């Protein structure tokens, strides 16, 4: 059974490789990842962010998030379950599902995204363009 990561990763790769390169007006094709980063949240939990072009406009970019438990850096554990968390507008994934990480009041591991990742759930999220 394919997990959520496999499905999302396959879809992103399909979008990336279906493009024809930079368009005539200098825009990137949909599916192009323009930025990615990785942050260790604590222990063996990591937060990945990917900025993905979804259209020709300046603001046609979404940010995908992944919070996952790792065996070693950049090698997530195999999971059977996954979840896609979508915040309501105008909020962002981090401010809704990782709020305790922003505030110094609550411990880092009280975030729902971190809790799920610690329990072998592959957590994905998205910020809208």
Which residue shows structure tokens 């110094």? 104
Name which residue leads in pLDDT, 22 or 86. Answer: 86
Look at residue 28 and tell me whether its pLDDT is greater than 60: yes
Domain boundaries, the chain: 4-127
Token reading at 8: 């999302």
Q: What average pLDDT score do residues 30-51 get? A: 90
């Amino acid at each position: 059974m394919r997990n959520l990561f496999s499905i999302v990763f396959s879809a992103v790769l399909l979008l990336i490789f279906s493009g024809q390169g930079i368009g005539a007006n200098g825009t990137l094709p949909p599916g192009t990842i323009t930025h990615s980063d990785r942050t260790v949240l604590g222990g063996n939990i990591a937060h990945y962010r990917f900025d993905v072009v979804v259209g020709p406009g300046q603001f046609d970019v979404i940010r995908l998030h992944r919070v996952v438990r790792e065996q070693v850096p950049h090698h997530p554990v195999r999971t059977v379950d996954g979840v896609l968390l979508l915040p309501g507008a105008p909020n962002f994934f981090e401010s809704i599902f990782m709020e305790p990480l922003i505030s110094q009041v609550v411990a880092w591991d009280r975030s729902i995204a971190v809790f799920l990742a610690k329990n072998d759930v592959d957590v994905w999220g998205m910020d809208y363009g």
